[in-house]
Amino acid sequence: MIDPFGRTITYLRVSVTDRCDFRCVYCMAEDMTFLPKAEVLSLEELDRLCSAFVRKGVRKLRLTGGEPLVRRNVMSLVRNLSRHLASGALDELTLTTNGSQLPKYARELKAAGVKRINVSVDSLVPAKFEKITRWGKLEKVLEGVYAAKDAGLQVKINTVALKDVNESEFDDLIAWCGREGFDLTFIETMPMGEINYDRNDQYLPLSTVRRDLDARWTLTDIGYRSGGPARYVACAETGRKIGFITPLTHNFCESCNRVRLTCTGTLYMCLGQNDAADLRAPLRASEGDALLEAAIDEAIGRKPKGHDFVIDRDHRAPAVPRHMSVTGG
Ligand code: SAM
């Protein structure tokens, strides 16, 4: 699959549910309306869709959400998709999770061929963690992170940089990841969906964070890419990598290799644009995949050049009305 700007699409991110057991303040409103259950694809349909993408050249699949591990029976999807790892059609099957269900699932994920996972941890202070997630328990998440490590999964921690909220903790997060052998990626808040806060109050440019970290840590730019948008530095003091995902201070669209599927079968060709393709209708229209594959080709032919996220006092409305949990962060 090659888009109109010559980018080869090899990476599919799938939001297997838009529901989540947390309500992170930058991600969701407190009283979220979720997609109607009747419109959500079955796990078998999600498998069929993912498999069509694998046939068309996707080499990396990431399950996300919402919280992927709260979807009932999600492990059956993971186990079924792992046949593409075994056949060599897929290089990587991975997951982004808030970690709350990892005590239960870490071993099964490893057994199904998952090698690396991303776990979102925005604070190591229990009260602050609970405030950011509105009701998440840090203790449970850390139990999950350590269960993943014990199961032999490589863990990367994702931290959204939030002004005046967790910015005083970045050194602690870097040191903790160093001790535990985890890579760490900082993410800028993106203006997606209505939340109950002004994003100007949360937004912390990572260019500022990087300058600040440089005063205390020896960070060297490296060319490493994980197949995603992060740019990495090596941290001499910890021996680990630190990534920066900077959709606002440094647009990364020129190397975009991915598209995103929602749990209702809508394909978004760009995280930060509204244009989308419905794949549920062609999926359900026939038992064969010809219609579906034609719809995928048509959608890739419409992939836009990039997003235009802006957060400043002149842009109060979100760039896209849907929340990250719908498209899959
Ligand atoms: N529930 C899982 C988790 O917590 O990782 C997967 C879904 S969550 C939407 C994926 C990632 O997106 C998390 O790291 C989260 O912090 C991040 N995220 C959510 N909303 C965001 C926003 N508006 N801007 C930047 N990152 C966001």
pLDDT tens digits for 83-96?
A: 999 999 999 999 99
Q: Does the Cβ of 141 fall within 6 Å of ligand 1?
A: no
190 falls in which pLDDT band (50, 70, 90)? confident
Residues ≥6 apart with Cβ < 8 Å to 12: 50, 53, 58, 60, 61, 62, 258, 259, 260, 261
Residue nearest to atom 14 of ligand 1 (CA): 120
Q: What is the pLDDT of residues 163-173, one digit of tens each?
A: 999 999 999 99
Out of 14, 27, 322, give the residue to mutate to test ligand 1, the one with the largest number of ligand atoms within 8 Å of its CB.
27
Nearest atom in ligand 1 to the alpha carbon of residue 192 is: 23
Q: Does the Cβ of 202 fall within 6 Å of ligand 1?
A: no
Tell me, what's the pLDDT at 310? 73
Least confident of 132-146, 203-217, 237-251: 237-251
The mean per-residue pLDDT over the stretch 44-73 comes to 97
Q: Does the Cβ of 190 fall within 6 Å of ligand 1?
A: yes
The mean per-residue pLDDT over the stretch 175-201 comes to 90
* Residue 143: pLDDT over 70: yes
* Residue 9: pLDDT over 90: yes
CA distances from 182 to 22, 88, 172 (A): 23, 27, 13
Q: What is the pLDDT of residues 287-320, one digit of tens each?
A: 999 999 999 999 999 999 988 777 666 666 777 7
Q: Does the Cβ of 54 fall within 6 Å of ligand 1?
A: no
Least confident of 153-157, 253-257, 294-298: 253-257
Query: pLDDT > 90: what percent of the chain?
Result: 78
Mean pLDDT over all residues of the chain?
93
Residue nearest to atom 7 of ligand 1 (CA): 65
Q: Does the Cβ of 329 fall within 6 Å of ligand 1?
A: yes
Residue nearest to atom 12 of ligand 1 (CA): 329
Q: Does the Cβ of 187 fall within 6 Å of ligand 1?
A: yes
Tell me, what's the pLDDT at 313? 66
CA–centroid distance, residue 234 to ligand 1 (Å): 24
Q: Does the Cβ of 159 fall within 6 Å of ligand 1?
A: no
CA–centroid distance, residue 15 to ligand 1 (Å): 11
